[in-house]
Amino acid sequence: MTIQHATLRQLQIFAAAARTLSFARVAEQFGLTPGAVSFQIKQVEGHCGFPLFERVGRRVVLTEAGHDLMEHAALILQALEDADRRMQALKDVTGGNIAIGLVSTAKYIAPHIVSRFQAERPGVAIHLQDGNRREVNEAVARGEVDLAIMGHPLDEAQVVAQTFARHPSVLVCNPAHPLAGSRGLRLSDLAGCSFIAREEGAGTRALTDRFFQAGGFTPRVVMTSSSNETIKQAVMAGIGVALISRHTIGLELALGLLQELDVEGLPLMRSWYVAHRRSLPLLPVHAQLWRYVAERGQDIIDAIEARYRALGKPPSRAEAAR
């Protein structure tokens, strides 16, 4: 017997076990007992003629044959999923599920866009999956998400992407910072500042590094974080200044919790993109969301920013008299 005699179900169980290295979790996923999972794995091992897992202490690990088979099983299962999606794409489906990959900065705009989209199509269920730029690119390339909202994709050969909105990044500080309120600052004026930066692999980190390198400036980075929220809190705590997307700090700017620094060359203007894997056909509902983001995204972001700015305005005389 050869691996060609393995059933699709057996390959699915093996692939899940290879990813999780936990037969118990696979049993829960497939509604089986751990013994049934072990039996199916033994069947696959019988087909290929090699042990696929081995125990190292209390852990289960893949053998060399297991690693090799996992690579091929992943390709087979992905091809079948792509074929299924293609068949579904031929149907006129207006409901269904959409998995959206988000770079972490997009968490501040995507829910607003999705909310308005779902208000018009209440039958659509949305799953949001966030990560840094590299992680979202990988999710798109592997077909783990249907669409992504992100900065410029890393591999344009595998990804179809369209811009839909402007994306400014600015330097911010605590309102009590010595440079707060200063006008016409140059990078050299920031030499004594402590900086808080995103982690390596984040789009904002790459942007920050390019900006400072182009200006011949080396920032004194005292803290890094993978979280925009943590960076905002660190700036508000007075730890340092940070280059950050303006879309992540609209509320804090309006309430006076953060202040934008007036630095030459800023804001840095990028673009937001909606993207999908080139080889993965869009179902009708995915195409609808793609068009919605492309056509309405900028207007929705503008409305969010206008609402935040209104929070920071002093009340009118009529409002104050009430």
Burial of 83 (0-12, 13-18, 19+ CB in 10 A): exposed
CATH 1.10.10.10 domain range(s) in the chain: 3-89
Which tokens sit at 195?
A: 């900086």
Residue 165: strand pairing partners: 272
Chain centroid to Cα 306, Å, comes to 25
Asked if 231 contacts 198 with a C-beta cutoff of 8 angstroms, the reply is: yes
- List the chain pLDDT tens, one digit each, 322 residues: 688 888 999 999 999 999 999 999 999 999 999 999 999 999 999 999 999 999 888 888 999 999 999 999 999 988 888 777 666 655 545 567 899 999 989 999 999 999 999 998 888 899 999 988 888 988 998 888 999 999 888 777 788 999 999 999 999 999 999 999 999 999 999 999 999 999 887 878 888 899 999 999 999 999 999 899 999 999 999 999 999 999 999 999 999 999 999 999 999 999 999 999 988 878 888 999 999 999 999 999 999 999 998 987 655 544 444 5
Topology adopted by domain 96-165+272-312: D-Maltodextrin-Binding Protein; domain 2 (3.40.190)
The CATH number of domain 3-89 is 1.10.10.10: yes
* E-state strands within the chain: 53-56, 59-62, 96-103, 124-131, 147-150, 159-173, 194-198, 220-225, 242-245, 259-260, 268-277
pLDDT at residue 79, as a whole number: 87
Asked if 52 contacts 63 with a C-beta cutoff of 8 angstroms, the reply is: yes
Asked if 222 contacts 196 with a C-beta cutoff of 8 angstroms, the reply is: yes
pLDDT at residue 86, as a whole number: 64
Give the pTM.
0.67
Greatest alpha-carbon pair distance for the chain in Å reads 87
Q: What is the rounded CA–CA span in Å between residue 138 and residue 228?
A: 21
State the DSSP string of 88-137: HHTS---SEEEEEEEEGGGGGTHHHHHHHHHHH-TTEEEEEEEE-HHHHH
pLDDT at residue 91, as a whole number: 58
CATH of 166-270, one of 3.40.630.10, 3.40.190.10, 3.40.640.10, 2.40.50.140: 3.40.190.10
Q: What is the rounded CA–CA span in Å between residue 137 and residue 131?
A: 9
CATH 3.40.190.10 domain range(s) in the chain: 96-165+272-312, 166-270
pLDDT at residue 87, as a whole number: 67
Q: Which residue is it, tokens 């700036």?
A: 235
